[in-house]
Amino acid sequence: MTSSKDLQEQAIDRFWETVPPLWNFVRSHIRATVMGNFDITVEQFHVLRYVRRGPNSMSELATAKNISRPAISQAVDVLVKKGLLTRVQNTTDRRYVELVLTDEGNALLDAVFKENRGWMKERMSNLSADELETIAKALVSLKRMME
């Protein structure tokens, strides 16, 4: 009978054998997609994604991304020039500038997510229903473990 400690060691080994290579594989696909199909860098993609999810000022975005305000400002400048993002001055506090996705920025993100979802569905197409259910349950457990 396998002890709880042995099972834990096996799970740790499988985690390191699986998660980093899997994440690198997914990141490579995202990089190729955004650069090849949408003419933006991965960093610009992440800025758009973060703005959509919530950090809506330069300082909030810099904090969320853990990079300097000048670096965020550069990325935002490019996205504004591309018409994917706008800066909106706060009427009560002129120091606060809100970042807002344009319709084009939202459409670009939707297209990237749609393409990525299709790619993932293709990758999963050879898995059985039981395997898909096992993966879904394992991912819930992994998320809970890291919270």
Q: What is the pLDDT of residue 127?
A: 96
* Complete domains list, the chain, with CATH: 41-146 (1.10.10.10)
What average pLDDT does the chain have? 90
Quote the DSSP letter at residue 92: S
pLDDT in tens, 80-114: 999 999 998 877 877 778 899 999 999 999 999 99
Q: For residue 55, what pLDDT band results from cuts at 50, 70 and 90?
A: low
pLDDT of 62 > 90? The answer is: no
List residues bridging with 24 in a β-sheet.
Answer: none
First CA to last CA distance, the chain: 30
Q: Which residue has the higher pLDDT, 64 or 79?
A: 79
Q: For residue 13, what pLDDT band results from cuts at 50, 70 and 90?
A: very high
Q: Please, where are the H alpha helices in the chain?
A: 4-37, 42-53, 58-65, 69-81, 103-124, 129-146
**C-alpha separations of 72 from 27, 41, 51, 112, 113 in Å:** 21, 13, 12, 21, 22
